[in-house]
Chain A
Amino acid sequence: MRTEKVIFAFFIVLALTLNFGFFLGDFSNVAHHNVYELFAAIVVSLIATVLKFGDRTHLGSVFLATSLVADLQLICAAIVWGMNSQGAGATLDEHSLATIISLSGGALLANIISVVLLVAETINLRR
């Protein structure tokens, strides 16, 4: 057991679970989607990206790519959220909420690929 591997797997799985938690719920109901959860998902996803830096193998490159996709989608979602909730008493309309959720859905897919890769790598390790 290596601490480095534990931390690595922890952040990758956490990025997926947070993303999933945010995505879960009705598309048009703001109450089902917590903004703090989106924030946490972005932060964890960024950390996972940095952890994937510097691995020169082919698998490492794909890892990094999936993470970058997730970051991009989540940050886009956050920007949409921020832009549509500014101003006095503005609330999210259904249309923008749907955009946010679908963007995070894309990120979820990227995170799933990332976890699948992690599992595949682990299974491939011969003991």
Chain B
Amino acid sequence: MPNLIYLLLRRLRSPLITLILVYAISMTGYVLIPGENNNLEPYQMSFFDAFYFVSFMGTTIGFGEIPYEFTQNQRYWTLICLYATVISWLYGIGSLLSVFQDPAFRQQTKLNRFKRSVTRIRQPFYLICGYGETGRKLVRDLANDGILSVVLDSDEGPINDLEVNDLSISPLWLKADASDAQVLEIAGVNHSFCQGIISLANDDRVNLTIAIVGQLINNNVRLIARADTKEAESNILSFGANEVINPFETFASRLALALHSPGLHLVTEWTTGPRDKKVDEFSLPVKGTWIICGFGDFGRAAYRYLDEVGEKLCVISADRQGRDVPAGTIIGRPTEAATLKKAGIDNAVGIIAGTGNDPDNLSVLMTAHELNPNLFRIAHQNEDKNKPIFDAAKLDLVMQRGNLIADKIFALLRTPLLGDFLRIIGRFNKERANQLASRMIGVMGSDYPELWEITVSEEEAPALYERLKYSDIFIKDLLRHPDNRDRSVSAMVLFLKRGEGNVILPEDSRKLRRGDRFLMCGNKTANHKMQITIRNASYLEYVLTGMRLPDSWVWRTLMKNKEFSELFNKT
């Protein structure tokens, strides 16, 4: 704020001095020029009279000639002063307005307002750097979940949409370069309610800078970053990022998973996929040749992962000078039927359109469909606005970068244990993965799965925490229904983190300890019921022993009396 006032004062220096001088000269003139009163006796205006007259003359209010009608000489002087004061006022007001219009001044105003509202935040929030398609979806998801976000983006464009938004929790935003340490600090990296930094810039270098700056300023904060290349990914990880998400790698690895371990693919999709619809298993073609069109970041990742799981591949690249393309690559435009035929489309089982151009991708897939209607078609959708055409094309699988990252980040924010869980189950063989998937179907039913975390702490599970001080509790007790302990809620424990140790799918007979963190999976009702058990001591007592504790003070006091409680228990 002080900056603003000084900026304003500095700009207004010359109009103010002009105004003071003009007033001083006019007033001196009126005081010196002899006048007459109503009786034609000489009258000299006092300084007060002069100031009063000049004030209303300069502001064009004009009450008339006071205190007495002017003489001719005074009127001459008035004529001069009139124009001088009005012009200097216009000059002053004009300068004031131009200061308000000044981009530097407006940026400063916005910065101040942003800074003030960030310091006033009294609820957990996430700092999101980069407001593109991913950022927009993530902010929306977070707002729907009741979480505030602070958004930074240096580009003109989408971020302006935030000025008018229909989100339930309106995010705070600033158009500024997030890789600037000062900006990050203003945006609340050090704020005690800052839950994490999410870096989603299009440029890997920017993400890297944000990661470095973020970790140096406050290394306690959770950091999730996006990276488009493998080098950037490992680089950002080395600076202490908790999670790095590479959209192309993520999608390609899921594709490979779907081909060689459908169970694992389903578990991954359920846990990190969209929250509004359940992903069903899709039938992938039997083994055969896959055609990859375009060998950019996406094509490359797809090639590497599919090659790893032993698929036969054929790459079509339009780039004649393509470096490090695999052997047998067909050079040509994939949109032409001749090129596709040359790549052996008649015998292929699937085609992946991975060029950087949406119309091209669609055109490839349409042509391919005409040539071979049985093909499994996968498209890379580059821009969010093209969603309707991709939907209309009825493709088997569409990779949408923004949604993919946003969904995964949202899942990781809600349940941070998910990152460790996914890393561990990534090593599962087919049978174990299928077992896990069917157990998950068992608890979640036909709905999409609800994931949540339980931390055995005083704040999050007060009843459980107290109880653990003097008795043993097992996981199977935790899963009992709080209304009928013989039934169990539709939930399962996916993962347990105890200190530094990880337990995947812990058995039912395992004892709970204070400080344990559980990753749970089930449906919404189960989540709600479990919250009741772990927070309410009387429900917990019932779940553990079958005894119902008296709720009210009167009843508790009565039950303390032995005779009464015996009488009551007999009847």
A: residues with CB less than 8 A from B are 35-36, 39, 43, 46-47, 50-51, 53-54, 56, 78, 81-82, 85-86
Contact = CB atoms under 8 A, between A and B. Distances in A.
A43 B21 CA distance: 8
A23 to B, nearest CB: 18
Given A39-B27, A39-B28, A53-B10, A85 B46 contact: yes
Contacts of A35: 47
Contacts of A50: 13, 16-17, 20
Interface residues of B, number: 17
B20 A46 contact: yes
Interface of A, helix, strand, loop or mixed by DSSP: helix
Contact of A86 (B16, B31, B48): B48
A86 to B, nearest CB: 7
A82 B10 contact: no
A50 B8 CA distance: 12
25 contacts: A35-B47, A36-B31, A39-B27, A39-B28, A39-B31, A43-B20, A47-B17, A47-B20, A47-B21, A50-B17, A51-B13, A51-B17, A53-B6, A53-B12, A53-B13, A53-B16, A54-B6, A54-B7, A54-B10, A56-B6, A82-B46, A82-B47, A82-B48, A86-B46, A86-B48
B468 interface: no
Contacts of A78: 47
Interface string B40-57: 000000111000000000
Interface in B2-38: 6-7, 9-10, 12-13, 16-17, 20-21, 24, 27-28, 31
Nearest to B14: A50
Contacts of A36: 28, 31
A90 to B, nearest CB: 10
Top 3 nearest A-B pairs (CB, nearest first) are A54-B10, A53-B9, A43-B24
A50 B10 CA distance: 9
A54 B10 CA distance: 4
Nearest to B23: A43
Contacts of B20: 43, 46-47, 50
Contacts of B31: 36, 39
A55 to B, nearest CB: 8
Contacts of A43: 20-21, 24
A56 B24 CA distance: 28
Contacts of B17: 47, 50-51
B13 A54 contact: yes
A81 to B, nearest CB: 8
Interface in B464-505: none
Given A43-B24, A53-B6, 11 more contacts: A36-B31, A46-B20, A50-B17, A51-B17, A53-B12, A53-B13, A54-B13, A81-B47, A82-B46, A82-B48, A86-B48
A50 B46 CA distance: 26
Contacts of A56: 6
Nearest to B51: A82
A42 to B, nearest CB: 8
Nearest to A81: B47
B232 to A, nearest CB: 41
B55 to A, nearest CB: 13
Nearest to A82: B48
A51 B24 CA distance: 16
Contacts of B46: 82, 85-86
A60 to B, nearest CB: 9
